[in-house]
Amino acid sequence: MPSPASRLVLVGLPWDASSSFLRGASDAPALIRQALWSPSTNTSTELGIDVDPRMIDDAGDIPLGQEAQEARSAIESALTHIVGKGAVPISLGGDHSVTYPVLRAFRALGPVTILHVDAHGDLYDQFPLPEAGQADGSGDRYSHACPFARIMEEGLCRRLVQVGIRTMTPHLQAQSDRFGVEVYGPDSCAEVPVEALEGPLYVSLDLDGLDPAFAPGVSHPEPGGLSVRDVVRLLHRIRAPIVGGDIVEYNPANDLRDLTARVAAKLVKEMAAVAIRNQPGRT
């Protein structure tokens, strides 16, 4: 468990080669940082905690190359180093496939609880699924549609709570049942037992969990989603110690006037503020 002196660390994961539809999320980390430190706003948060460069370090972007297995290994290695120093990493994706190697970096802490905001369950065994009767294993088991299947298979998570899900297929439902995932749709935020979640807690925020009206800059916009206010309220209700988190699936190529970058930066700040507030020993 992180000590009261734990530092927060931003780390960029510029990877989108595991995306199933559009590329572009690899360009996200730099633009989220730009919005985070933009003079158009300030570093104050709604919890009254100022999240400025004195409170949060920046490890820069991890060089990832083009080969998927090597990229996963590089992410796991870099995050293992950060976690091993007792720091709390907030990763800037990147597509959602990065969450699997990031979670492998927390194995020394034991299985974590995960609070996951998304339009999609990301629990596919492989993606795309083989056509009916064609079980040839041709899909990608490390696609951005699959990270939580790998996480649950390896026992990296003891409790997975998903919020905003609105694309549940029969296969995803079967996978959710298999792994005992707790699933809440976009109209059920108030019902999520956030206060009861035990640490160590990891928070994964896929920006397409929000309605496209609030976050147009994603590769898979799914109408009918959460508002920014819904997600901020969800974060503020967390009482467990946060050991890490990520903001993923921002695609600048689809953004309008950097609005989604600013949403991502807002969520980084509020997540960081909750992580600071909830550190053991903080009064």
pLDDT at res. 42? 94
Distance, CA of 267 to CA of 159 (rounded, Å): 22
The rounded distance, in Å, linking the Cα atoms of 100 and 68 is 12
Q: Residues, the chain, total?
A: 283
**Residue 254 DSSP label:** G
Q: Beta 112-117 vs 56-61: how paired, if at all?
A: unpaired
d(CA 72, CA 261): 24
pLDDT number for residue 261:
98
Q: Is 197 helix (H, G, I), strand (E, B) or coil?
A: coil
Separation CA 268–CA 231 (nearest Å)? 11
Q: CA–CA separation, 142 vs 269, rounded Å?
A: 29
Residue 138: per-residue pLDDT: 73
pLDDT of 1 reads: 41
Q: Specify the pLDDT at position 150.
A: 98
pTM of the model: 0.94
pLDDT at 4: 44
Domain residues of the chain, as ranges? 10-129+139-277
Plot region of 110 (φ>0 → left; ψ -120 to 50 → alpha; else → beta): left
- pLDDT tens-place values along the chain, 283 residues long: 444 457 999 999 999 999 999 999 999 999 999 999 999 999 999 999 999 888 899 999 999 988 999 999 999 999 999 999 999 999 999 999 999 999 999 999 999 999 999 999 999 999 987 764 445 557 899 999 999 999 999 999 999 999 999 999 999 999 999 999 999 999 999 999 999 999 999 999 999 999 999 999 999 999 999 999 999 999 999 999 999 999 999 999 999 999 999 999 999 999 999 999 999 876 5
pLDDT at res. 25? 96
**pLDDT score at 137:** 57
Task: Please return the burial class of 259, using the count of CB atoms within 10 Å of its CB with bins 0-12, 13-18 and 19+.
Answer: middle
Among residues 203, 207, 24, 193, the alpha carbon closest in space to that of 118 is found at 207
Relative to beta strand 112-117, strand 201-206 is parallel
Instruction: Using DSSP, state whether 206 is helix, strand or coil.
Output: strand
Lookup: tokens for 3: 């000590």
Which superfamily, per CATH, for 10-129+139-277?
Ureohydrolase domain (3.40.800.10)
Beta strand ranges found along 86-197 (DSSP E): 88-93, 112-117, 157-163, 182-184
